[in-house]
Amino acid sequence: MKIISSIDELRDQLRGQLRTAFVPTMGNLHEGHLSLMRLARRHGDPVVASIFVNRLQFGPNEDFDKYPRTFAADVEKLEKEGVYVLFAPTERDLYPEPQEFRVQPPSDIGGILEGEFRPGFFTGVTTVVLKLLSCVQPQVSVFGKKDYQQLMIVRKMTRQFAIPTEIIAAETYRAEDGLALSSRNMYLSAEERLEAPTLYRTLNEVANEMRAGHLDIFELERRAMGRLTERGWKPDYVSIRKRSNLQPPAAGDLVQGEPLVVLTAAKLGSTRLIDNLEI
C-alpha cells in the first residue's frame, strides 16, 4: 500500500484509473470501517482510503484534540484489506491556505437532527468531502449508513454539484449485542458499554410498534426518549423521519407506507452516540 500525503502525488499515482473506489475516514479504524473497504472493493478497483481528522467538523467544545489517532494500527489493517493507496494528508497538505470557501448544506437537511445539535458540523463535513473527492476523483465512494444524515447530505451535494462519483451506502456494522461500531465507543466505561446496546434496542422497539400499526409518531418518540432518560441517558432526539428527505412524515405519508427511518443521538456519561434504523 502506498501512503501518500501530497495532493499532487496522489493525482500522479491515480492518473488513468477508471474505477477508483474511495472510502474517506478519520482513522481509528474498526471492523465497521473495514467493512466499508470490502464493499468498496466489490464496486471498484483500486481501493483508496483516506485518513484525515477534519478540524472543520468539530465544534469548539468537541473532541478534536482527544480524537483517537492510531495511524500505525490503521495502516496495518488497511494493508490487510488490500487497499492500494492511503491518502493521509496533514492539515497543511489539505488546507495549504485557510479554507475560506465552504460548502453550506441547505438548512432543511443540514440544520435538523445532528445539524441542530452540532452547528457547523455538516458544513465541515461537506467541505472536506468535496475537497477529498476533488483530490481522489473516484468513480465510486462509500459512506456508512451509521451516519445516515451525512450520507444523505453527501449524496445530495454530489448530485447538485454534478460530481462524477457514485455514492454507495454501506450497512451499519454492529457488535453482537447490537451496538453500532463507532470510534467513540472506546470512550465508554465497562459499565456504559453494557448499557450502550439499549440505544439500538430502543430503535427496534419504535420500529416494531410502527410495524404493528402504532402510527402516533410523537407518542412513540416521546416514550423512547423517556425510556432512555429513565436508564440514565441524555437523549438529544429520537426522531421518525422520511428516508427520502429526513422530514417528519405527514399523516398521509404514514397511511401510504412512505419508507421511514428512526434516528437517535444520546449521551451516555460523557459519550455521545448516534444510531438509526430503517423501518
Q: Does 26 bind ligand PAF (CB under 6 A)?
A: yes
Q: Does 110 bind ligand PAF (CB under 6 A)?
A: no
Judged by beta carbon, residue 109 or residue 240, the one nearer ligand PAF is 109
Q: Report in angstroms how near the CB of residue 28 gets to ligand PAF at its nearest.
A: 9
Q: Report in angstroms how near the CB of residue 158 gets to ligand PAF at its nearest.
A: 12
- In this chain, which stretch among 21-29, 73-81, 204-212, 217-225 interacts with ligand PAF, using CB under 6 A? 21-29
Q: Report in angstroms how near the CB of residue 27 gets to ligand PAF at its nearest.
A: 9
Half-sphere exposure of 74 (CA within 13 A, CB side): 23
- In this chain, which stretch among 5-13, 19-27, 171-179, 270-278 interacts with ligand PAF, using CB under 6 A? 19-27
Q: Report in angstroms how near the CB of residue 117 gets to ligand PAF at its nearest.
A: 15
Q: Does 129 bind ligand PAF (CB under 6 A)?
A: yes
Which burial class, exposed, middle or buried, applies to 92 when counting CB atoms under 10 A from its CB (0-12, 13-18, 19+)?
exposed
Strands of the chain (E only): list them. Answer: 2-4, 21-25, 47-51, 85-87, 140-144, 166-170, 234-242, 260-268, 271-278
Q: Does 24 bind ligand PAF (CB under 6 A)?
A: yes
Q: 259: which strand partners?
A: none
8: Cβ contacts below 8 Å, ≥ 6 apart:
none
Query: Between the CA of residue 273 and those of 59, 67, 129, 145, what are the distances in Å?
Result: 16, 14, 22, 14
Q: Does 54 bind ligand PAF (CB under 6 A)?
A: yes
Contact 126, 157 (CB under 8 A): yes
CA 139 from chain centre, in angstroms, equals 20
User: Which residues are catalytically annotated?
Assistant: 33
> Which is nearest to 2 in space by CA: 12, 41, 18?
12
The answer, yes or no, to whether the previous bond of 24 is cis (omega within 30 of 0) is no
Q: Report in angstroms how near the CB of residue 193 gets to ligand PAF at its nearest.
A: 21
Contact 203, 277 (CB under 8 A): yes
Contact 141, 21 (CB under 8 A): yes
Hey, CA dihedral for 137, 139, 143, 145, is it positive or negative?
positive
Q: Report in angstroms how near the CB of residue 204 gets to ligand PAF at its nearest.
A: 24
- In this chain, which stretch among 61-69, 125-133, 164-172, 270-278 interacts with ligand PAF, using CB under 6 A? 125-133
d(CA 220, CA 168) in angstroms, rounded, equals 31
- In this chain, which stretch among 11-19, 122-130, 163-171, 222-230 interacts with ligand PAF, using CB under 6 A? 122-130
Residues 133-162 close enough to bind ligand PAF by CB under 6 A: 147, 150
Q: Does 125 bind ligand PAF (CB under 6 A)?
A: yes
Residues 160-219 close enough to bind ligand PAF by CB under 6 A: none
- In this chain, which stretch among 10-18, 23-31, 162-170, 259-267 interacts with ligand PAF, using CB under 6 A? 23-31
Hey, CA dihedral for 76, 81, 85, 87, is it positive or negative?
negative
Judged by beta carbon, residue 129 or residue 217, the one nearer ligand PAF is 129
Residues that bind ligand PAF (CB under 6 A): 24-26, 54, 57, 125, 128-129, 147, 150
